[in-house]
Structure 1
């Protein structure tokens, strides 16, 4: 009688080894915690990598699978493993706005400000894209750089404005983000104007944004808004207010002289 060969445990795939996507990846991604635990107990490597150097921890974080993230970390998953784009599991968890996953990764020593490549945005950038203000708060509390730079957008504040995440903008500004930082002369206000957000415009003006700043196309923020729209009227109000204040200052100065 032919002997049936039993399935071999994953003992060969530590970080650096390549493999097809495994059952560990699948269980982690789909949130099948019981199956994942069984695979780990049978000897499956939690650090096996698939195409593009993606680990099971990357996949669990990308889907916000909190229980699977906990199992993987407790089993020794490398918390700062990088895929071929340079992204860490923390980047993935921040991107989907999973507060619990982010908290667990930080508790296991995940780097808040990992060294970035030209292809990678910081975890804080990803959190601002994801739009979860609580994730942005915990990242800042752990020391995330407010001035981390992304080649496409600029700073996390630019990203939050471009993605119309007002709550994240408020958190960043209260934490000390530079309101007039520019990338290719484009400020956060340019992004807020493009998404026509009156609330963000109000907030940025309150924190001292320059409403007259021009970008590389020699355009002010108001020039990106349809005339007569609420956002345009908002900026026109601040423009007229600024002109009145300048006129008053000039009058007072002349009187004193």
Structure 2
């Protein structure tokens, strides 16, 4: 019996072309070929790029960017909505972050109530995204308001992220709106306190 005919139950074999991501790609390419607008917005201000990023379809993100999808969350030049790179960074969608950066996404885009993509990645402990953003030139001291990415990771007591930010030159002596250094936000029982002190933080 030819194994290519299907399974024992008569079901059809599946392959790469049958995967959900491939089907989405084919549908997307068909729509674009038919003149579908890649920057069309829903009533909730969700763009196709947002939708592809939210669903974790990096291949669709690349297709949309290639055909002129805007990096911002809204067609309006100024918006408080999260941009695709903010959402991708927050959720740890590394391939999407990579594509957005490659197509000129603003890695230091600061939204008042969200902060920068780096800040969101740090706040949600998305280590791979934090590293990618830093390696791509993100400002390691720009966060949300006066709260820096280092303040964010100090709260979570993430040693790996603290070390990563420090290695890229994060300011350990920056104060937030409450006048606190990052070290003051570290849980007192955490060994990170000693690490901060070793990096020449002013003694408190």
Query: Do the structures match in fold with TM over 0.5?
Result: yes
Tell which deviates more after alignment, 214-223 or 102-111.
214-223
Written as runs of structure 1 = structure 2, the 5 A alignment for 1:156-175 is: 156-175=117-136
Other-structure match for 1:73: 32
For 1:107, the equivalent position in structure 2 comes to 66
Partners of 2:76 and 2:107 in 1: CA distance: 15
In the alignment, the residues of structure 2 paired with residue 116 and residue 205 of structure 1 have an alpha-carbon distance, to the nearest angstrom, of 34
TM-score by length of 2: 0.77
Q: How many residues align?
A: 180
CA RMSD of aligned residues (A): 2.5
CA-CA distance at 1:203 after TM superposition: 0.5
Q: Between Structure 1 and Structure 2, whose CA radius of gyration is higher?
A: 1
Shift of 1:150: 1.5
Q: Is the 8 A contact 1:192 1:201 kept in 2?
A: yes
- TM-score, structure 1 as length reference: 0.63
Runs of 5+ unmatched residues, structure 2: 1-19
Residue in structure 1 matched with residue 196 of structure 2 by the alignment = 238
SS in 2 for 1:94: helix
Q: How does 1:138-157 map to 2 (within 5 A)?
A: 138-157=99-118
1:185 maps onto 2:146 in alignment: yes
Counterparts of 1:234 and 1:126, CA distance in 2:
28
Q: Aligned residue for 2:178?
A: 217
| Change beyond 3 A, Cα 1:65–1:225 | farther
Q: Write the distance in 2 (CA, Å) between the matches of 1:73 and 1:103.
A: 13
Residue 3 of structure 2 aligns with which residue?
none
- TM-aligned CA deviation for residue 85 of structure 1: 4.2
Indicate whether 1:92 and 2:51 are aligned.
Answer: yes
Moved more, 98-107 or 112-121: 112-121
Greater RCO (CA < 8 Å, at least 6 residues apart):
2
- Cα offsets for 1:65-107 (capped at 9, x unmatched): 4443333333322100112343321122223332111011112
Kept in 2: contact 1:96–1:130 (CA 8 A) = no
Confirm or deny: 8 A CA contact 2:155 2:187 kept in the other structure: no
| Cα distance per residue 1:172-207 (max 9 Å; x no partner) | 000110011243210011111222221111100001
Secondary structure of 1:185's partner?
A: coil
Match of 2:9 in 1: none
Residue aligned with 1:242, SS: coil
Note closer, same or farther for the CA distance 1:117–1:82 as it changes in structure 2 (3 Å cut): farther
